[in-house]
Structure 1
Amino acid sequence: DVMKSFNILFMNDFDSSKLKEEQYEVLKEWVKQGGFLIIGTGPNGTKTLSIFEDEFITGRKGELTKVSGKALGQFVGVDFNEVMEIMDIKLENGITLLKHDDIDLAQYVSKGRGRILILSFDMGLEPFFSWRLNRNFMEKMVQEILPSFYGRDYSGKYVSIARGNYYNIDRALKTIPELPLPNYQTAIIMFGIYIILAAPVSYTILKKRDRRELMWAVVPALSLAFAVIIYFMGFGTRFTGPIFNKLTIIHGDERGNMASQSFGGIFSPNKTDLIVESADGTRIKPLAYTDNYFSSYLRWDERKIDTKIMVSPKSSIEFYDVGVWDMMTISLEEDRVLEGNITSQVIYKDSGFTGFIENGTDLDLEDCYIITSNEYMPVGDIKSGEKKELAGKAVRYYGDRYDLLNSLYDVNSLRNNVRNMTNEKIQEIRTQNQKRYLLDYHFDFNLSPTIEGVKLIGWSSSPSTSQIRVNGKEVKSYNRTLLVWDLTLDIQSGEEIELPWGYIKPSINDKVVKGNYDPYSNSIYGTGVLEVSYDLGQHIVPERIEFSQRAIDATIKQYIWNVKEQRWDNGDFAGFVIQGEDIAKYVDTNNLLLLKFELNDSSFQIPQITVKGRMK
């Protein structure tokens, strides 16, 4: 609990071997759960790194050497040419931030949700210690590595900031498919009966008995009777206390690396204060949206406190004066991501996927798909422990993620079928909408707007392991989890292979275009010359390359590089095929294929390719 109060720890000129084993395990777990560990080395690096003899930090410790600190000065925009004594460290799987010639001066490695920054110098020794910009240097260094909570979002320790198209999270949390609905057909019938009884029937009967003056009593009595009937009809859909809707996204791969995001929406049927606390140690924070948090222009003395956040010893949030059915959003940082793993043997052949996917996790997955940047294939449900055999043709789409979302979760076709609308259909529409919002958020949150490689997506409504209490009581909870798992195509040496459409990503080599590139639709618009290359990889012997491209403006000139003749040949890449002797004509010795386009205030979608051949 004490460690959870810290975002950053510095370790410099410290004999780490003095840490007890229990303390070391706590430190490692703290990093994995999102902590940022900064380690200074230099002349004291050996003792500082002495405890890291396991797999937590791996690499090579070199000799001490002296280098210029010029790179540090350039990092903050000044001259700093002082000589520094540094330790030449090569961090395994590390990402270099600063280097002098071939010597890394600052590098980091990710561990779970946290990171470790290794500095090759001692922060407490000259000349760095007396450098007037040493603080600016360290602040910028931290900002470069952890922009999410340091520098830009000063409240990030206490408040989680929703990013990307965060309104998709808001919509998904407000959509609860499992909420019971009253039978609207019965309600319409009852309303019709009431109108008939309250007007023509009552009037006719009282008129025949010459007692029309009793209408003032009969109509209110009927209204009261029908109000009681409607009340009891909707009794099963009524809530007397708060409810909690939780959504989780888990992204993993076959190496066992996993990351998760969890969000929650809390609703109350009454205007009240809400005290939200974790029931199992899960850390919770309010989820704020970038366009409306801290945006009030009121003076501080006119403000009122609407949220109180308790970080330690137990994570809790108090929301004040919450309106009826207003949603209070939170994020949850869970220690447990997922039990088990997804294993697979996936082969792409004849425009479809074969092989198997085995669900070794503790989640029952439903509505699963294999997706690529241009194709998808339904897989169905995969129960926990089930091995699912794959067989079927993949369905093409145009590489636009909205095309994919429309194909997987076509809510419009369901809405248009008004005549057959039932409560079950309404629940299906709400379920499809929620899935669409959450998957769209995942696509937008990730740095790459297009799908990389081959992925499995699946859904689970299994009960959540993390629970919350509202006002000291457990609440009715609804859960949905999106699992996104990176799959690897099974390709063996000497075997025939077929790569899915879009599996080989086009690279824009030279863009002299007044315009822009839209990565979501894989399109270029503007005026100028554009060169696009496709790297087939050194281990593939291509035998057939097929192109796919939407119809483009006739004013756009298209070319393909002729390797043999060293010239540009005119081309039209809608359905274009390269095979036989043309392979050597258009694919160079590095297995590169090059196209060129001349645009004149126009736009087009970059062609996608599929490759057949064999592995070397």
Structure 2
Amino acid sequence: MSRTKLPKPIRYALSMVLIVLLSTWAAASWTFADPDGNAPKISLKREIGYNLIIKEGRWAPLKLTLTSDVNVSGDIVVRVDPLNGGDTVSYIRHVELPRNTPKEVVIGMAGIPYNKSSNTIQFFEGSVKDGTSIPFTTKNGYVESMTVPGTAVGVLSSDPDTMNFLNTLRSKGKDVSVIPMVAGDVPSDPMLLDMLDVIVMNNFASDMLSQEQVKAVKNWVGTGGTLVLAGGEGYAKTVRGFEDLSPVEVKGTQRVTKLPELAQLGAKPLSLEDGITLSAASIKPGTQVLLRSEGQPIFASHVEKQGKVWYAAYNAGTEPLASWSGHPAVWQTVLQKDFSQTQNQNNYGYWGTIPGNLLQLGNALDYFPALHVPSFGLMLLILLIYVIVAAPLMYLILKKLDKREWAWLLIPSVALISSAIIYAVGASDKNAERSHTISVVEMDGQGSGQRVSATAFFAPRSGDYELEFPAQTYIGIGNSSGGSFIGGQSGNASGTYIDMGQGGTKVNLNEVPYWSISKVWAQQRANEQVGAFETKISVNDQGDLQGTVKNTTDRNFSNVVIVMGGKLVKLGDMKSGETLPLQSSGGGLGTAFNDLGSAIFPYYGGQDVHERERIMLNSYLPSTALYNARTYVLAWNNDELLSYKSDGRRIAGEQLNLWLQKVNLNWSNNGTISVPYGFVSPSIITGAGSGWNQNGNNLIDMGQGSMILDYDMPSGITASKLNEIHFRQQTLGQNTDYAVMNWQTQKWEPVKWTKNLYSLMQGAFGDYLLNGRTLRLRITVQNQTTFSLPDLSLKGKGNTP
């Protein structure tokens, strides 16, 4: 029997295929295994957060160090199963591991508890989709962390124990965590500093930081962080690389043997017989001085976009200051805004991998404008037509034609056609991928702003989807109705893969059901150039607002509103470049501050077209620093701020954006200063009562204990310009005593209310205003009660900026 010989071209093609297969096998043998054919041996070192501390609801770095005994490439996968609900999320990074060379990988992780039960770390040679898992030679393929709430203070100092005295503030109701750091801890991505509220650089050699690290710290400050630059005679090395952020120009040093102003602020005796060294400095324009001594600034600060930078004239680790009992009180006053922020603002915790305040923002996504419930009238009409056609009409026609046996065919056909029509009507807006995105942009008033977005992705078909977001976008996945947002189901077996590559962030949604909605949160710690609202607003003696608001952005806005001092003024729509007059007493908000959404967008029944706006105002706004200040402009538009793709295709979508900006007022009118009640909000310095909380109506519920409030005078107003200071208390509370601090005598003086009013004695304001700017009040409660935070009004002579 003869064999048929294959044609030469086919034999050639088969030979080439065989060569390719053999080459691929040889390359794989070199890449993924040693000469003996064994699997690679990979060791793992891991560290999450800073000193294993992460902050609840904030992003934190996870450092993984991998070392392989052979050349190997693949995906490192961190799988997270949130303990409190939410879908399984896997963070992926592709890595190339050269033989016997440690490789560090940094992954941004959500601020939730991590332990053996909540996460696993795996390495897949090739890729996670089709590769083989390689077990690590080291044990514990997971991370553990300690999650802290409150204020997180990172410390870069020559002495790692420099700021440990802040831990004593916990006994005074301040939830503070001090985290020592070294230069290598500082990341090049500002989002990985997200878990820190304050960074203190004290007598620290900043030139150890790379340009990328310095840039990251600056971006972190510009997007809301607080940076403290200190060091005394070591200030020059501390400020190196951050000269443009420093509130002062340092010109040498000076030796002092007393600092009475500092002792006054700390309310404790301070002996400096051996002296300490201060840096001598002149302040830059726009800098506010908290404390001076013999004309020299001891503490000074200025605003940097949405953040703040402090200058301290001495080394915080120098004795006897380091162990001085008044030192914690000094720094509590310096950083009061950062400490009070965590106390006053609602702490929503987290759900899945989403911070609670952002999760509340995502509730507005449930109102997907492009997806509609079919019209009841239309569906009823189709049903009636079907009933009429399928029964009497068809019967009469077939009877007249004497073809009643055709009913066996026609009735099912009509039913199928009717079903198809009903499906087509119901699915008319559900046959394509769609997105619904809401964003909040907090503007700094100088042209830049920071944005956070939440988006809902509608999948018209079941299967896997890949969403592509811009580079450096951090993604969170949450849930709804007790189940997972992903696919609208709970316990998705495959979960979600998030891969932050250099070209962009990819989110793989696996096993998504038919007609389902997936919700995704997108964050970037970066300032965008967005323009600003230019405001020229003053207040008269009656508290009426007057002036102008100009839209200097390149965008048009609707429903522009000014909220100031308990007043609500609606300006309406504003086009780019438009200026609108503001001369109205506005509407008093009163208790409506707890429901600002309904105050701006009242609902009178019928079709509710502003449900999303009310949810965003009442859920997200209270978590911002603007809310307590109560002096801001807010506006809306539908511009596209976040765009992303699905499997490389652009998605048709709808957007709703809330824009917020703090407003500064001019308090002088023809040389007369007038600050009515409601415009100066206190900061809670200490809340040591047994279980206290603050609601949106400025009311405090507190058990036995005391609370200390600081009132900072508005910009440009000092004790020398004032001739009247009045307190007004709307709800005094039961068995509650009030006292004001006399800084000169270092004693608390009782406040005696007359018809809920109290006035400080004229001519002695300097005794009650620390450094001419800060007034301190103490409220002591004997048993559980409710009281309001006192309002302050000011009158005087002079001009303010």
Q: TM-score, normalised by structure 2?
A: 0.51
User: Does structure 2 conserve the Cα–Cα contact (< 8 Å) formed by 1:265 and 1:327?
Assistant: yes
- Which residue of structure 2 lines up, in the alignment, with residue 482 of structure 1? 658
* Cα gap change, 1:605 to 1:568, in 2 (>3 Å): closer
CA distance in 1, matches of 2:656, 2:307: 26
Distance 1:476 1:209, change over 3 A: same
Q: How do 1:269-308 residues align onto structure 2 when only pairs under 5 Å count? A: 269-278=460-469, 281-288=471-478, 305-308=494-497
Deviation at 1:117, TM superposition (A): 11
Instruction: Report how far residue 357 of structure 1 moved.
Output: 0.6
**1:164 and 2:356 matched:** yes
Provide the secondary structure at the position in 1 that maps to 2:517.
coil
1:322 to 495, 512, 536: 512
User: For residue 31 of structure 1, what is the aligned residue in structure 2?
Assistant: 217
Q: Is the 8 A contact 2:634 2:658 kept in 1?
A: yes
Within the candidate set 501, 506, 513, 1:312 is matched to 501
Q: Deviations over 1:86-115 (max 9, x none)?
A: 99698987999xxxxx999x9999966899
Residue aligning to 1:451? 628
Distance of 1:205 and 1:6 partners within structure 2: 73
Structure-2 residue corresponding to 1:221: 413
1:34-59 alpha-carbon deviations (Å, 9 max, x no partner):
49999998999867865555457865
Q: Deviations over 1:381-418 (max 9, x none)?
A: 1112111222333112224643322222334x33xx3x
Q: Where does 1:69-468 land on structure 2 (aligned, <5 Å)?
A: 161-179=353-371, 182-199=374-391, 201-202=393-394, 216-233=408-425, 236-241=428-433, 243-256=434-447, 258-278=449-469, 281-288=471-478, 305-316=494-505, 317-324=507-514, 325-333=516-524, 335=526, 337-349=528-540, 350=542, 352-372=544-564, 374-399=566-591, 401-411=593-603, 413-414=604-605, 417=606, 425=607, 429=608, 431-446=609-624, 450-464=627-641, 466-468=642-644
Distance 1:520 1:220, change over 3 A: same
Aligned residues: 519
- State the 1:454 CA deviation: 1.4
Preserved contact between residue 685 and residue 710 of structure 2 (Cα < 8 Å): no
Q: Which moved more, 1:480-489 or 1:168-177?
A: 168-177
1:376, CA displacement in angstroms?
Answer: 1.2
1:339 partner SS: strand
Q: 2:647 aligns with which of 438, 451, 471?
A: 471
CA–CA distance in 2 between the matches of 1:56 and 1:524? 37
8 Å CA contact 1:264, 1:332 repeated in 2: no
Structure 1 counterpart of 2:638, one-letter code: S
Q: Distance in 1 between matches of 2:776 and 2:234?
A: 51
1:323 maps to amino acid: P
The amino acid across from 1:278 in the alignment is F
User: 8 Å contact 2:440–2:451 — kept in the other structure?
Assistant: yes
Q: Which has the higher contact order (CA 8 A, sep 6+)?
A: 1
**Equivalent residues in 2 for 1:429-578 (5 A)?**
429=608, 431-446=609-624, 450-464=627-641, 466-492=642-668, 494-495=670-671, 499=675, 501-505=677-681, 516-525=692-701, 538=719, 539-542=721-724, 549=730, 556=734, 571-573=754-756
Report the counterpart of residue 53 of structure 2 in structure 1: none
- 8 Å CA contact 2:430–2:460 kept in 1: the answer is no
Cα separation, partners in 2 of 1:492 and 1:338, compared to 1, 3 Å: same
Show CA shifts across 1:206-256 (max 9, x none): 678887666554443333333344455456523323x23332222223345
Range 388-397 or range 496-505, more displaced: 496-505
Q: Supply the distance in 2 between the matched residues of 1:600 and 1:458 (Cα, whole angstroms).
A: 43
Kindly report which structure 2 residues correspond to 1:596-607, keeping only aligned pairs within 5 A, or say none: 603=786, 605=788
| CA distance in structure 1 between the aligned counterparts of 2:528 and 2:691, rounded to whole angstroms | 43
Aligned residue number for residue 130 of structure 2: none
SS of 1:193's equivalent in the other structure is: helix
Of 321-330 and 54-63, deviating more is 54-63
State the AA in 2 paired with 1:319: L
**Aligned partners of 1:207 and 1:614: how far apart in 2?**
100
Gaps of 5+ in 2: 1-105, 107-186, 194-198, 256-275, 291-295, 318-337, 343-349, 485-490, 741-748, 770-774
In terms of mean alpha carbon deviation, does 85-94 or 311-320 score higher? 85-94
Q: Residue 385 of structure 2: SS of its match in structure 1?
A: helix
Q: Deviations over 1:140-161 (max 9, x none)?
A: xxxx99x99xxxxxxx9xx994
What do the CA deviations read for 1:289-314 (whole angstroms, capped 9, x no partner)? 799999xxxxxxx9965233322322
Provide the C-alpha distance between the structure 1 equivalents of 2:578 and 2:533, rounded to a whole number of angstroms.
10
The separation in 2 between residues aligned to 1:51 and 1:598, in whole angstroms, is 48
Provide the C-alpha distance between the structure 2 equivalents of 1:162 and 1:585, rounded to a whole number of angstroms.
51
The whole-number CA distance in structure 2 between the counterparts of 1:49 and 1:613 is 39
Q: CA shift at 1:62, angstroms?
A: 5.0
Given the superposition, is the C-alpha separation of residues 272 and 587 from structure 1 closer, same or farther in structure 2, using an over 3 Å criterion? farther
Shifted more, 327-336 versus 479-488: the winner is 327-336
CA RMSD of superposed structures (Å): 5.8
Given that residues 551 and 578 in structure 2 are in contact (C-alpha distance below 8 angstroms), is that contact kept between their aligned partners in structure 1? yes
Contact kept? 1:34, 1:112, Cα under 8 Å: no
CA contact 2:446–2:531 (8 Å) conserved in 1 = no
Instruction: Output the amino acid matched with 2:412.
Output: P
State whether residues 508 and 530 of structure 1, in contact with CA within 8 Å, keep that contact through their aligned partners in structure 2: no
Gaps of 5+ in 1: 66-84, 97-101, 124-143, 149-155, 295-301, 418-424
Shift of 1:355: 1.3
Shift, 1:475, TM fit: 1.4
Q: Which amino acid aligns with 1:60?
A: V
Describe the SS at the equivalent of 1:338.
strand
User: SS of the counterpart of 1:276?
Assistant: strand
> Paired residue for 1:78?
none
Q: Describe the superposition over 1:109-144 as per-residue Cα deviations: whole angstroms up to 9, x where unpaired.
A: 9966899999999x9xxxxxxxxxxxxxxxxxxxx9
Shift of 1:315: 2.9
In structure 2, the residue matched to 1:299 is none
Q: CA shift at 1:585, angstroms?
A: 8.0
Q: CA deviation at 1:461?
A: 0.7
Q: Which amino acid aligns with 1:332?
A: Q
TM-score by length of structure 1 reads 0.64
Distance 2:561 2:497 in 1: 42
In structure 2, distance between residues paired with 1:276 and 1:330? 12
Distance 1:218 1:229 in 2: 16
Letter in 2 for 1:269: P
Q: Distance in 1 between matches of 2:547 and 2:190?
A: 47
The change in CA–CA distance for 1:548 and 1:176 in structure 2 (over 3 A counts) is farther
1:359-393: CA deviation from partner (whole Å, max 9, x where unpaired): 11122111111113533111111112111222333
Query: What displacement does 1:188 show?
Result: 3.1
Does structure 2 retain, via aligned residues, the 8 Å contact 1:41–1:86? Answer: no
Q: CA–CA distance in 1 between the matches of 2:704 and 2:677?
A: 27
SS of the counterpart of 1:192?
helix
- The AA in structure 2 aligned to 1:458 is A
- 1:382 to 1:223, Cα distance in 2 relative to 1, 3 A: same
Deviation for aligned residue 1:485: 0.7
- Aligned residues of 2:565 and 2:677 also touching (Cα < 8 A): yes
Equivalent pair of 1:61/1:89 in contact (CA under 8 Å): yes
Q: Give the CA deviation at 1:269.
A: 1.6
